[in-house]
Amino acid sequence: MKIFLKNSYYEGLLQDLFGEKDGFFTIFMHFLYQKNQIFVNYPDFVSDFEELLSLELKSCEKTSELIIGLGGDAKFYSSNKKYISGSGVDYVKNLRSVLELDIELVEKAIIDIKNAYSKIENASIRASLNEILILKNDQLNILKNCFLNLENEKNK
């Protein structure tokens, strides 16, 4: 883990990516719940949701490493100390609705990452944000493919 100079502004930006109501850790909980439901209701999509969950865990790990490297603590709250909880998870079970919601969540995360990137000048942190952005784009591609596969199955 790289240690940076303490920077509470950068730390706050990253803390929001990690611990805000719709931040990475909430998305992780969201994907975990969905993977369990999909296992029961849509077994053909289990491996896709396992991959989504794995990619989200990597996003959480990379972001928390950055926060800790800036002298922070990577707690499960936003920069204004609003704690996240399972109430941020959408407990929808209809796969089409799940995928639509997930696409929206990941697209918002991509926008949030780009926003943080534009405010951070440190090249190492920006490089890590680029890595996280790649993970999010991979997630978006998986979700869009799942959506197309679901639509194709429906039209058979």
pLDDT band at residue 58, thresholds of 50, 70 and 90?
Answer: very high
- Is 1 inside any structural domain? no
What is the DSSP track for 16-34? HHHHSTTSHHHHHHHHHHH
Does residue 107 belong to any structural domain of this protein? yes
Does some domain include residue 95?
Answer: yes
pLDDT digits over 20-57, tens only? 999 999 999 999 999 999 888 889 999 999 999 999 99
Q: What is the number of helices (H) and of strands (E) in the chain?
A: 5, 0
User: Domain containing 102: what range?
Assistant: 8-154
> What is the CATH classification number for the domain harbouring 71?
1.20.1260.10
Specify if 60 maps to a domain. yes
Structure tokens at 93: 């079970």
How many domains are there within the chain?
A: 1
Residue 130, in any domain of the structure: yes
What's the whole-model pTM score?
0.93
